[in-house]
Every structure is written in structure tokens, then in C-alpha cells.
């Protein structure tokens, strides 16, 4: 049975986020596999299979006859399909036609939201990441928070889809979220106003002679916008003392992933040759490998990549490729550890299945599934940071890490001498971290020290340095249609 639609590399569902889409990819629809599956079942003479299918029908009959109020066949079968697919792993799911339509509405960017990436965990709704510049991020919601109430009404027992529907609404309408923060055990309430959220996926700044580019998610426009931002940084540096760009920091912190082709394109911009990533699934004919094409837009400038526990999926592809090729130094915290690829398979007009179909592997042949990318220089975000204790490995029934290179990862021997003196966490008197204030960003400041040392430049960018932002264009707000 052969079919292929779109490849996805996101970590979570989008709760009130109008994007184009970081966690979704739709390609040309392939052959609907349902008929082939039905033929396989009908030709299966296994007595155990017949017994289990009979059991399913019997349970449906019992529930319809005895449940406290009437239940339709449609609801029962949708529930069965949801459990059948959703319990395979945290990233597979069945979507009804209505849910599939809602996903397409998210892609269009024509609804009000908060800018939250959320995921179901043991029957609860947990925040994967708030997106920069959105109501959720401005309010102070953090990765790992559990959302327990919407408008002071409990989400207990509610599906993730139902919870997301409650968080959506018309732009300008008020909403209240109650969360439990596991780090402190505190219950907190955030009052916000829904917005049409257009995420600026590329942000850039110049610190002395070092460039800084932040990538917030991997959508259709990411690589082209990043390339434009880098070009502007070079022009800006040419007018500053010294007359040129001497290094680059790529910030992938709390970037939940997105499109595989964009992760490959970004990696290709910095790696001249060799493998970038490969994917391997159940069917060998669908295995693929992507290689660099002989370009490096920086002409070999030193690069530092910032990561944390919210750097997932496509972000991990980029970090893993740059690390394995020794093209960049990874500084920060271990990444999320999502090493799987999802395919979106439309089921006629009945909905769709988002199904895990492959694992991906870094150039050294390693699967990061459940493990993540370990930084070359570990640096915590705050002095009381627990290194983002919510990762792929913490989810229920995760995909196993199999295949690939199983040898222990050898420590790098090409780190600059300054790496030995970089503190693992901020000092006690460091100001409270605020991503919008570079002076409070301890990981960024350590990254600047490292990239300047690699370039042989004096560290002339103290914590009080201010960024000059170079804005890239807004993301695309239509479904992706190009193949990976």
C-alpha cells in the first residue's frame, strides 16, 4: 500500500494561533488508502481479528442500548477512531471533517486567538510554547503550564479539540485562562483579549559586529525571510565601526518546528556539503535523504545556535545538522526530542488522519527521538531554571528511539577556550529574564561572548547593549502546496 500526502514536523496543536502553518503541511492528496485497508481486513482469515471486530460491534451495541442517554453511531465511531489513532503516539490523531476544517481555518489566519502551542498530556492541556508577540506571550504564560480553566470553567475531562475551541473566538473578545505552573505549584489567572495573530517569524538585530537572527517557527516563508534579514544585517554592519559582520547567532529557543523543507533550506544556507537530514519509515521506498548544495551565505562566519527545551522538531533538524558538521556551537539547554515525522492523510470528505510515518536522523545517523540535541555549552535561562522539564520523553506512549547510530556522542574538541569559562547559569543578581529585553537574556549574552571569541573580536556588547531590529515579512497565511 503506497500513499503520501504531506509531511509535518510540529509538536502540538495550535490554540488560537493564526499562522501559515508552523505545525502543518498539506501537499497534493495521494490515493485514499481506506479501500486497500478494507480489502486487507476482508481477506484476513485470522480468528483473532474476527473476534476483536465482533467485540467492537458488540460494545457499540451495548453502549447504544444502555448508556444513560441516546448516543449516535457517528459519535461512538468517531470516539473509537480518535482513541485508535490518538493512542499510537502523542503526535498521531484522527480529525473529523469539522476538526479538519478548523485546522484549515487556523491556516487561513482569519480567527481570533491567543498564540499558544498546546498539547494533550494525560487528559490535561499543557502549553508547549507561547509564540513571540502574541497575547499569551505578553501575559506571561510559560512553556509547561497546565491550562485548567477557560473563563473560570473547568476543562476537566474535556478533549484537546474541545479545549482549543473554547480558547478561540472573535478578535477583540476577552478571555480568562487559569493555569497551574508545575515549577512553583502556583495557580495563576491570566486575563487577555483575543487577536488576529500574525506571527513575525524572523527577527534580527545587530550587537556590535555580531548579527542575531531569531526564528520563531518553520513556515513557508521562513528561509527567504531569514535570507533577507541576513542581507540587511550585512548592510547594517558595513556602516558600523569595523565595516563588516564578524559572526552570527541563530536563536531557535521555543521554536516548536514546522515544515521539513524549510528546516532543510535553512541548514543548507550554512552547510556547504554533506547530509543535512534523512527520514526512514516502515516502507523503504519512502525513505529520503537531503544533502547540502554547496552554499554558505555567511562565507564561513562563526555561528552560535541558542536552544532550549522548547526547540523542537524542525528546530532540532537545524541544530543537529549544524552541530554534526561542526558548523556551529550549540549553546543553551537540551532540546525537546521530537524525532518523528507526521503525514496528513485526507480521508475523502470524512476528515483526515495525522499519522506518524517516519523517524528522522541527523547527519551522524542519530535519532533524537526522546533524547533531544545536547548543547555543546550548557547554559540555563535563569538561576532557578529546571531546564524545561517538559519534553517528548515526558509524554505518554511516545515513539521508541530505534535504529541509527547508537554509539556514545564524543565531546567536541574544537570549542574556543572561552567555553570553559562560560557559567552554566546566571548569577544571583541577574535581572529577571525578558525575551524582549536583550540586557536580561543571559543565554544571549553568553552566546555573544562565544561568537566574538570565535571571531577574534573583543566582547564589546555588554548586557546593556540594545538591538536594532531588522523586521522580516509576515508569514504566509495559506495552506502549503509544494512537496518536501
Nearest CA to 316 out of 390, 375, 247, 404 is that of 375
414 catalytically annotated? no
Nearest CA to 223 out of 90, 99, 299, 317 is that of 317
Among 92, 311, 313, 340, the one annotated catalytic: 313
CA distances, 389 to each of 233, 304, 309, 330, 375 (Å)? 35, 23, 8, 19, 16
338 catalytically annotated? yes
Among 203, 259, 334, 338, the one annotated catalytic: 338
Check if the beta carbon of residue 305 is closer than 8 Å to that of residue 329. Answer: yes
Among 261, 324, 385, 441, the one annotated catalytic: 324
Which set of grid coordinates corresponds to residue 363?
547527519
324 catalytically annotated? yes
Known catalytic residues are 313, 324, 338
Amino acid at each position: 500500500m503506497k500513499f503520501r500526502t504531506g509531511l509535518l514536523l510540529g509538536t502540538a496543536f495550535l490554540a488560537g494561533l493564526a499562522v501559515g502553518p508552523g505545525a502543518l503541511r498539506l501537499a497534493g492528496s495521494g490515493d485514499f488508502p481506506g479501500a486497500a485497508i478494507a480489502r486487507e481486513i476482508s481477506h484476513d482469515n485470522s480468528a483473532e481479528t474476527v473476534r476483536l471486530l465482533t467485540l467492537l460491534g458488540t460494545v457499540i451495541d451495548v453502549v447504544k442500548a444502555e448508556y444513560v442517554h441516546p448516543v449516535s453511531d457517528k459519535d461512538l465511531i468517531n470516539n473509537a477512531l480518535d482513541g485508535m489513532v490518538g493512542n499510537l503516539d502523542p503526535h498521531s490523531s484522527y480529525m473529523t471533517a469539522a476538526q479538519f476544517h478548523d485546522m484549515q481555518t487556523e491556516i487561513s489566519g482569519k480567527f481570533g486567538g491567543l498564540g499558544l502551542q498546546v498539547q494533550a498530556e494525560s487528559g490535561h492541556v499543557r502549553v508547549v510554547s507561547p509564540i513571540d508577540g502574541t497575547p499569551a506571550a505578553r501575559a506571561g504564560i510559560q512553556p509547561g503550564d497546565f491550562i485548567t480553566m477557560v473563563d473560570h470553567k473547568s476543562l476537566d475531562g474535556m478533549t484537546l479539540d474541545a479545549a482549543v475551541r473554547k480558547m478561540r473566538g472573535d478578535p477583540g473578545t476577552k478571555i480568562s485562562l487559569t493555569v497551574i505552573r508545575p515549577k512553583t505549584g502556583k495557580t495563576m489567572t491570566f486575563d487577555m483579549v483575543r487577536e488576529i495573530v500574525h506571527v513575525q517569524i524572523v527577527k534580527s538585530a545587530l550587537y556590535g559586529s555580531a548579527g542575531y537572527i531569531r526564528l520563531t517557527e518553520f513556515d513557508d516563508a521562513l528561509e527567504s525571510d531569514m535570507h533577507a534579514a541576513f542581507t540587511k544585517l550585512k548592510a547594517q554592519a558595513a556602516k558600523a565601526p569595523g565595516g563588516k559582520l564578524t559572526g552570527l547567532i541563530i536563536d531557535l529557543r521555543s521554536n516548536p518546528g514546522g515544515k521539513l523543507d524549510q528546516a532543510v533550506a535553512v541548514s543548507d544556507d550554512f552547510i556547504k556539503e554533506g547530509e543535512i537530514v534523512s527520514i526512514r519509515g516502515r516502507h523503504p521506498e519512502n525513505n529520503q535523504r537531503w544533502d547540502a548544495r554547496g552554499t554558505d551565505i555567511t562565507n564561513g562566519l562563526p555561528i552560535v545556535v541558542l536552544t532550549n527545551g522548547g526547540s523542537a522538531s524542525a528546530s532540532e533538524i537545524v541544530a543537529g545538522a549544524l552541530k554534526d558538521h561542526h558548523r556551529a556551537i550549540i549553546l543553551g539547554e537540551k532540546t525537546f526530542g521530537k524525532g518523528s515525522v507526521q503525514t496528513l492523510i485526507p480521508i475523502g470528505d470524512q476528515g483526515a488522519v495525522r499519522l506518524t510515518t517516519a523517524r528522522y536522523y541527523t547527519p551522524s545517523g542519530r535519532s533524537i527521538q526522546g533524547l533531544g540535541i545536547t548543547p555543546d555549552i550548557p547554559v540555563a535561562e535563569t538561576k532557578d531554571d529546571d531546564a524545561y522539564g517538559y519534553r517528548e520523553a515526558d509524554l505518554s506512549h511516545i515513539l521508541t528511539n530505534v535504529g541509527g547510530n547508537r554509539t556514545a556522542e564524543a565531546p567536541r574538541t574544537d570549542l574556543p577556550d572561552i567555553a570553559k569559562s562560560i557559567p552554566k547559569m546566571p548569577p544571583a543578581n541577574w535581572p529577571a529574564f525578558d525575551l524582549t529585553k536583550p540586557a536580561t537574556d543571559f543565554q544571549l549574552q553568553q552566546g555573544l561572548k562565544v561568537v566574538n571569541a570565535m571571531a577574534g573580536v573583543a566582547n564589546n556588547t555588554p548586557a546593556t547593549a540594545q538591538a536594532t531590529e531588522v523586521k522580516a515579512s509576515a508569514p504566509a497565511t495559506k495552506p502549503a502546496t509544494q512537496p518536501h
